[in-house]
Structure 1
Amino acid sequence: MHADPQSYRHRYIPMTEQDEAEMLQAVGVSSISELFRDIPASVRYQGLLPVSEPLDELALWSHMRELASRNLDTSRMASFLGAGIYDHHIPVAINHVLSRSEFYTAYTPYQPEISQGALQAIFEFQSYICELAGMAVANASMYDGATALAEAGLLAVGATKRKRLAISRGIHPEARQIIATTAEALGIELVEIGLAPGIGTTDLNKLENAVDDTVAAVLIQSPNFLGCIEDLASLEPLAHHCGALLIVSANPLSLGVLEPPGSLGADIVVGDAQPLGIPQSFGGPTCGFFAVAEPLMRRMPGRIVGQTVDREGKRGFVLTLQAREQHIRREKATSNICSNQALLALGAAVYLSVMGRTGLQETAALNVRKARYAASVIAALPGYQLPLSAPSFNEFVIQLPKGRSCTTAIGHLLKDGILGGYNLEADYPELPGCMLLAVTEKRTKAEIDRLALRLGELI
């Protein structure tokens, strides 16, 4: 691209040279470059950008296809990388529904009389989330699981009038960073609760010592970032004995085999719906879910779709409990989320409807069994260990033999078309030489055995 915008034509903008000249004359300048005269020359880019000359359409398509072919495609390789974004099977029905223009062109269904389809789809999503989480009310989705967890912390602060949050070290590192940024801006103190060494779950003794009548909520992720399933039944009384709320971030697919957090005393359940039929898409966008116990429903951020009847007694759907305007009232708002991921929430709802109760349970059980098999064959390799003893869902931590780095191992696996796990050393220095592996229902026995074979070559 040339530095001077006049040196190339905008193929997709219907503007002729005469149109351009007339506009320049109307604003009183002789060239487009003159519009930028207030920017000091010392900070302007001089010369030509280091890119190719303009390409015709055929050459451009060819160039873009070649660039795209360099991307790692998990449809052509075995992915054992999780850490928040997972390679799950996506039923073809989901894309078929999402591709309908009634859904992908819709924004906010303000007028219920003409938005019944979109409102019903959102209502179904909320209903599924309530059933999975064991909660009374769910909203019409959030941006993603990490921001949903931060919003849950804000809700707890507002509900309890306390300014401290106890946050488990087992929560996703990126989610902890988002919570820390939010807390700093609002003067909220964070108290990090460490993990029990050799176990991998939140240290109950440290939590008990940290929670008092100044703590608004205890934030837990289960399964946590290391794949370990937290003992929510034991955590619940430690949170509630001083009036703090219990906030749980959950993998929704794991709830096909685990007891719902709501049944174990959680006040707020959040998470990311990405495992429910949402593509990995280089890390996003995804869709967050947010569910609460009934006493907290009027404090819940975002939108809620309710079921009602019209004057003739026919079933209908409306936005309920909250007016959108409350979310633009600056510091008085319960939240400043103004949009959401309704299209991806619809995708999650389609996934759950296609899979059904039995399909979800079977898929979750496959994740457990395949991850357990992978852990057993890797642990049998000389020098390899499973450093954490807590039960897991579909992710687990392996410790490489002494002198072997995760970076080397990941590069070695990649040569054989295997996308290795997540290097934990940067986020958890207490776990040197450790890698987080994810095994979903898509991974075959042959792929798992090949992973173990390649890891064995590093010994």
Structure 2
Amino acid sequence: MDYSPHTAEDRKTMMDAVGIAAIEDLFGDIPERWRLSRLLDLPPALSEQEAFTQMKALSERNRLPDITLTGAGAYRHYIPAVVGHLTQRSEFSTAYTPYQAEISQGILQAVYEYQTMIARLTGMQVANASMYDGASATAEAAVLSARTLGRTGVVVARSVHPAYRQVLRTYAWANGLAVEEAPFTGDGRLDREALAAAVRESTAAVIVQSPNYFGVVEDLAAVAPLVHAAGAHLVHCFTEATSLGLLKPAGELGADLCAGEGQAFGNPVSYGGPYLGIFAATNPFLRKIPGRLAGATVDRDGRRAFVLTLQTREQHIRREKATSNICSNEALCALAAAVYLACLGKNLKPLAELNAAKAGYLRRRLLDLPGWAPAFSGPVYNEFVLRCPDPEGVNARWAEAGISGGVSLAGDYPELPGALLLCATELLTRADLDRAVDVIRP
């Protein structure tokens, strides 16, 4: 049925108020050649039942893999049932923080708990209420460093996720920053000699991903002195959040800012989103970090209460005073992460160890195949890169067997021909891993 909230009299009153005789007058500034003079060529409207039937038929065309060996920034992990049970409650089913935030104590407490968990996992003193995704959070960290130090240079490791580097360059272009890439060495880690040569007095931030795009764990403790000697900030970024349960926190290794993707914490891969941007920092950045910050206090009766402590986006303050153009957050995804982490508790470390063990087993099995060889010698978490005779052919055979294969790196890294990026999480059994190897065995 049709629904229009305005009567003809309502429309006439509004048109009289703005001084127009017809609705078409509102489009007077648009040249005639750009105006559509006919109805859109669309099929007739469907009833609710017909629309449901058609959407259901489309959904049945999806073919989910039986086994997933794909990572590269999106990871399949087991999500406890309690995560969906709580996040789907009506009082939480919004991605937005209310403008009268203090009347929503439940949401603010959930955000506060999320921030506390993230700060502890990253070894930082403060974490915000979340951001869009890991790529934008990483870019925001670079812009924050540039504004704080009054510098215009950013050095990013070439081993950082290609999509993250692309987003970084977009942010840099908009903010007048110059981006330089630092190469990696034969172990898959950042080339520290090249980094030392790249860091200058104009460098505001050095961005290092660990585990990096190749799955290799970087030596942040060795990188930090090189960065700080030049007066720059070290930004640690990550795409696999469960690694935080196993690796030493970046804050304890000398990082000034930590930004990354939190999808692995209780959020499904879900065809690419929505995801969860994590942003944490040391105390000097407390009043400069983008996004929102929830805090704990007491009310006039001395009872514990939660408030929206900082809101640094321009919608709340003057544009020239804003620290970011981020206009929202991912509160529902952050809630899922908080529930997931609370559910796992100290078991996050055994989960991370299981991921590392599964990847290690798959790597050893694949290296037994003729023509397969390690691309890097550095330590890895749950992803690794191997060279194989025919990456496209291997992925095609896996696809035929219902297996989502690895990511061929030749497109983003021409210097790595024949390289395949593979991942294994706790969802894969030994039988799954053995089957994946058997399918491509010559």
Q: 1:238 to 1:72 in 2, by over 3 A?
A: farther
CA distance in 2, matches of 1:240, 1:266: 10
User: Which residue of structure 1 aligns with residue 371 of structure 2?
Assistant: 383
Q: CA deviation at 1:299?
A: 1.0
Q: 1:41 to 1:333 in 2, by over 3 A?
A: closer
Is this contact kept in 1: 2:188–2:216, CA < 8 A? yes
User: Which residue of structure 1 aligns with residue 432 of structure 2?
Assistant: 447
CA distance in 1, matches of 2:213, 2:37: 44
CA distance in 2, matches of 1:132, 1:169: 25
User: Which residue of structure 2 aligns with residue 98 of structure 1?
Assistant: 87
User: Which residue of structure 2 aligns with residue 6 of structure 1?
Assistant: none
Q: CA deviation at 1:61?
A: 2.6
2:300 counterpart of 1:311:
yes
Letter in 2 for 1:68: S
Secondary structure of the 1:66 match is helix
Q: CA deviation at 1:52?
A: 5.8
Is this contact kept in 2: 1:200–1:228, CA < 8 A? yes
CA distance in 2, matches of 1:61, 1:68: 10
User: Which residue of structure 1 aligns with residue 272 of structure 2?
Assistant: 283
In the TM superposition, what whole-angstrom CA distance separates every residue of 1:37-57 from its partner, at most 9, and x where no partner exists?
Answer: 9775798598984x7665554
Is this contact kept in 2: 1:274–1:286, CA < 8 A? yes
CA distance in 1, matches of 2:102, 2:39: 57
User: Which residue of structure 1 aligns with residue 350 of structure 2?
Assistant: 362
User: Which residue of structure 1 aligns with residue 55 of structure 2?
Assistant: 64
Is this contact kept in 2: 1:298–1:322, CA < 8 A? no
Q: CA deviation at 1:108?
A: 2.0
User: Which residue of structure 2 aligns with residue 73 of structure 1?
Assistant: 64
CA distance in 1, matches of 2:36, 2:100: 48
Is this contact kept in 1: 2:118–2:127, CA < 8 A? yes
Q: 1:21 to 1:116 in 2, by over 3 A?
A: closer
Q: 1:56 to 1:217 in 2, by over 3 A?
A: closer
CA distance in 2, matches of 1:14, 1:57: 15
2:200 counterpart of 1:212:
yes
Given candidates 359, 364, 369, the residue that maps to 1:371 is 359
Secondary structure of the 2:236 match is strand
Correspondence list, 1:318-333, <5 A: 318-322=307-311, 329-333=318-322
User: Which residue of structure 1 aligns with residue 281 of structure 2?
Assistant: 292
User: Which residue of structure 2 aligns with residue 432 of structure 1?
Assistant: 417
Root-mean-square deviation (Å): 2.7
Point out where structure 2 has 5 or more consecutive residues left out of the alignment.
none
Correspondence list, 1:150-189, <5 A: 150-189=139-178
Correspondence list, 1:386-405, <5 A: 386-401=374-389, 404=390
Count of matched residue positions in the alignment of Structure 1 and Structure 2: 435
2:112 counterpart of 1:119:
no
Q: CA deviation at 1:183?
A: 0.8
CA distance in 1, matches of 2:171, 2:158: 17
Is this contact kept in 1: 2:102–2:308, CA < 8 A? no
CA distance in 1, matches of 2:35, 2:366: 55
Q: CA deviation at 1:63?
A: 2.4
Q: 1:56 to 1:302 in 2, by over 3 A?
A: closer
User: Which residue of structure 2 aligns with residue 260 of structure 1?
Assistant: 249
Q: Structure 2 length as normaliser, TM-score?
A: 0.91
CA distance in 2, matches of 1:115, 1:164: 41
Given candidates 202, 221, 224, the residue that maps to 1:233 is 221
Is this contact kept in 2: 1:141–1:290, CA < 8 A? yes
CA distance in 1, matches of 2:170, 2:34: 35
Q: CA deviation at 1:212?
A: 2.5
User: Which residue of structure 2 aligns with residue 108 of structure 1?
Assistant: 97
Is this contact kept in 2: 1:132–1:252, CA < 8 A? no
Q: CA deviation at 1:71?
A: 1.8
Q: CA deviation at 1:159?
A: 1.4
Given candidates 417, 423, 441, the residue that maps to 2:402 is 417
Point out where structure 1 has 5 or more consecutive residues left out of the alignment.
1-10
User: Which residue of structure 2 aligns with residue 7 of structure 1?
Assistant: none
CA distance in 1, matches of 2:34, 2:137: 44
Is this contact kept in 1: 2:227–2:234, CA < 8 A? yes
The percentage of aligned residue pairs carrying the same residue is: 45
In the TM superposition, what whole-angstrom CA distance separates every residue of 1:370-396 from its partner, at most 9, and x where no partner exists?
Answer: 000000000110111111111111111
Secondary structure of the 2:396 match is helix
Q: 1:45 to 1:426 in 2, by over 3 A?
A: farther
Q: CA deviation at 1:113?
A: 4.0
Q: CA deviation at 1:456?
A: 1.8
Secondary structure of the 2:91 match is helix
105-114 vs 438-447, which deviates more?
Answer: 105-114
In the TM superposition, what whole-angstrom CA distance separates every residue of 1:400-422 from its partner, at most 9, and x where no partner exists?
Answer: 11xx2x33322221111101111
Letter in 1 for 2:257: I
Q: CA deviation at 1:187?
A: 1.3
Q: CA deviation at 1:22?
A: 11
In the TM superposition, what whole-angstrom CA distance separates every residue of 1:345-389 from its partner, at most 9, and x where no partner exists?
Answer: 0100000000111x2111111110000000000011011111111
CA distance in 2, matches of 1:67, 1:210: 51
Q: 1:363 to 1:48 in 2, by over 3 A?
A: same
120-129 vs 310-319, which deviates more?
Answer: 310-319
Correspondence list, 1:41-60, <5 A: 49=41, 54-60=45-51
Q: 1:42 to 1:166 in 2, by over 3 A?
A: closer
Q: 1:266 to 1:381 in 2, by over 3 A?
A: same
Q: Structure 1 length as normaliser, TM-score?
A: 0.88
Q: CA deviation at 1:92?
A: 1.1
Q: 1:43 to 1:236 in 2, by over 3 A?
A: same
Is this contact kept in 2: 1:110–1:319, CA < 8 A? no
Q: 1:327 to 1:433 in 2, by over 3 A?
A: farther
Letter in 1 for 2:303: K
Letter in 1 for 2:146: V
CA distance in 1, matches of 2:401, 2:28: 51
CA distance in 2, matches of 1:42, 1:329: 35
Letter in 2 for 1:393: Y
Letter in 1 for 2:237: S
Given candidates 332, 335, 347, the residue that maps to 1:346 is 335
Secondary structure of the 2:369 match is coil
Q: 1:312 to 1:21 in 2, by over 3 A?
A: closer
Letter in 2 for 1:306: G
